[in-house]
Structure 1
């Protein structure tokens, strides 16, 4: 409701209150004069004057009540119009909220960003990768064993893992074998084995709990129980 409408409503409310008080006071005065007239302590003209004033006050009160009713009806009509106009706006707001939810980035895992494909504030197209994320709490070491060591490796077997930690120093971790290849392959050039004569090796995967020191791409060594 506009400010001037609020001011007008307040003025009419005050006017109504004043007129109601005036009618009540005049009605009380009329009864008092009637009692005095019965006791011959007042004249008929005094009663006529009071009745005239009371009737005029009641008419003024009725006019004010009708004006307030008209004003309330107008406000109600305006409110319905605003509500009607608000429906498309509410629908638009719901659409924008849905777009915001669709634009929210939700990671499938708790992890660390390892590669960024886009910068903050940069425009990108739907379906384009923003970054690569990895769960570094547990890392998988891909190791290789010879055919002679194959019989010593079993799934879910506990193994020791050593990671370089400075010159001639190593950090030891507990690992678990989670996968063993059933096919031999030529020894990768970047891999060393105890038996350097071995041309064929079997790949295995060992899961290691990360204490924060391990990084993707680090080299390590495993020890199998004999």
Structure 2
């Protein structure tokens, strides 16, 4: 004999089950990550692009480079110009050697004449003439050194803008290297080797997935019970009606209310004002961007 369950009792069971289901979590949302789009900083053909979607890439790793032949040739040209300019610099030591020797001889003659004057073997005029000769040679030497110094300085000034251009080329060459800025997993590739790229053109998108964020929404009634740094329980669908459970930490709470996203199923819930929160969860590889998650505070 089959036992009949009254309709009222059946409805009560269903409502109780629904209430229990509702109490399983306090908020829900989707997982997201901080995504970085890495763009080209130079124009040219991508010669190498050593990465694939799903690959984990460390920060600072060179993943490719853009053809830089013209920049390399320009740098060599600038270095050759600097060499040409500096080859015109005067050899001050060599060009003043003759006058230095004349000065040395004039000073020795002055000293010899002074000894002769002391022995009454020469006149004071001869000593004065010897002193004048020393002064003349010194002035000639000073004038030549000044002239050669000015010429050398002018040539060095001509080298300065060439040095600046070389530093500019070095900067452009560095931008031809595709250096991964953040460690993470490659989500999307927008370019391939042998394609032509340009400054600002996306090459790939990467995100760190070892720690992922659940963006959920809470009501004004729940707001006083949630604070940054709070540890919460995060539930993710597993198999059947079971959940995978993770520990999460509230990392951010919005400072302004907003309308609930339309992904919320009922019209009544969509009409409510809510606050967005971000909960950081350590990812074991199961959590994916866009996956739904539920939070129990």
TM-score, with structure 2 as normaliser: 0.41
1:27-49 deviation digits (Å, cap 9, x = unpaired): 1x134314xxxxxxxxxxx335x
Equivalent residues of 2:213, 2:279 under 8 A apart: yes
Equivalent residues of 1:178, 1:205 under 8 A apart: yes
Q: Which of the numbers 247, 251, 268 marks the counterpart of 1:173? A: 247
User: Does 1:2 pair with 2:90?
Assistant: yes
Q: Which of the numbers 135, 145, 148 marks the counterpart of 1:72? A: 145
Q: Structure 1 25/120 Cα, relative in aligned 2: closer, same or farther at 3 Å? A: farther
1:8-59 deviation digits (Å, cap 9, x = unpaired): 32453354245324413431x134314xxxxxxxxxxx335x965x466446
2:122 is matched with which residue? 47
1:193 is matched with which residue? none
1:93-148 deviation digits (Å, cap 9, x = unpaired): 68x38975x9599x9x966363444579986312212332435575233679xxxx
Query: How many Å separate the matches in 1 of 2:138 and 2:132?
Result: 10
Q: Which of the numbers 113, 118, 141 marks the counterpart of 1:32? A: 118
Equivalent residues of 2:99, 2:137 under 8 A apart: yes
1:190 is matched with which residue? none
2:81 is matched with which residue? none
What RMSD, in angstroms, separates the aligned Cα atoms of the two structures?
Answer: 5.4
Q: Structure 1 20/142 Cα, relative in aligned 2: closer, same or farther at 3 Å? A: same
Superposition pairs of residues 8-23 of structure 1, within 5 angstroms:
8-23=95-110
Larger RCO (alpha carbons 8 Å, 6+ apart): 2
1:124-175 deviation digits (Å, cap 9, x = unpaired): 312212332435575233679xxxxx98x8357464114699xx99552125
- The count of corresponding residues between Structure 1 and Structure 2 is 187
Query: How many Å separate the matches in 1 of 2:199 and 2:100?
Result: 59
How far 1:75 sits from its partner (Å)?
A: 1.4
Q: Which of the numbers 142, 147, 160 marks the counterpart of 2:233? A: 160
Superposition pairs of residues 113-192 of structure 1, within 5 angstroms:
114-115=186-187, 116-117=189-190, 124-134=197-207, 136=209, 139-141=212-214, 154-155=222-223, 157=226, 159-162=232-235, 170=244, 172-176=246-250, 181=260, 183=262
Query: How many Å separate the matches in 1 of 2:106 and 2:195?
Result: 68
Q: Structure 1 16/124 Cα, relative in aligned 2: closer, same or farther at 3 Å? A: farther
Query: How many Å separate the matches in 2 of 1:170 and 1:69?
Result: 89
